[in-house]
Amino acid sequence: MSTPVEEGTRKYKQRMDWLVQRIKLRPRQTTINENQAAAQAQLGLFDEKVMALLNQTGVWLDLYQMYLSYARALDKSQRELNFMVDLIREHQILRDRFQRRGLDAAVLSAIDALVIYRTADA
């Protein structure tokens, strides 16, 4: 009979054996790759829509990454949170955080309209 520490060590080594993990993941590899490709394409389209909006509003190219970060964080919260109270609270937190970084409130409102209404339509 082994001690709990020895049993835990054995299970850890079994879990971290890359050859075993590779054998387990190989049948699912095509599904994983397809899901990853679909998610990457969706993110690319989302980024293009946000960058087109930023281009229309006249945002400097240096600030694109900060606005994209806001849009991605807002999109993630809109997709993952279920309750309206959580959605509103998370939106207020994100908005405050990015406004304190010096981003324009009008551009953030335009991003809000794009992301929140797009999520509601989907």
What are residue 108's phi and psi, to 5 degrees? -65, -35
Joined tokens for residue 17: 């054996």
CATH of the domain at 77: 1.20.58.800
Kindly tell me if the per-residue pLDDT of 106 is higher than 70.
Answer: yes
Which residue range(s) make up the domain with 100? 4-121
Each residue's pLDDT tens digit, 28-58: 888 989 999 999 999 999 999 999 999 999 9
What was the pLDDT predicted at 40?
92
Q: Are 63 and 80 in contact (CB under 8 A)?
A: no
Report residue 119's pLDDT band, with 50, 70 and 90 as the boundaries: low
Rounded average pLDDT over 72-83: 87
pTM equals 0.71
Joined tokens for residue 49: 């829509």
Joined tokens for residue 82: 């279920």
Q: Report how many domains make up the chain.
A: 1
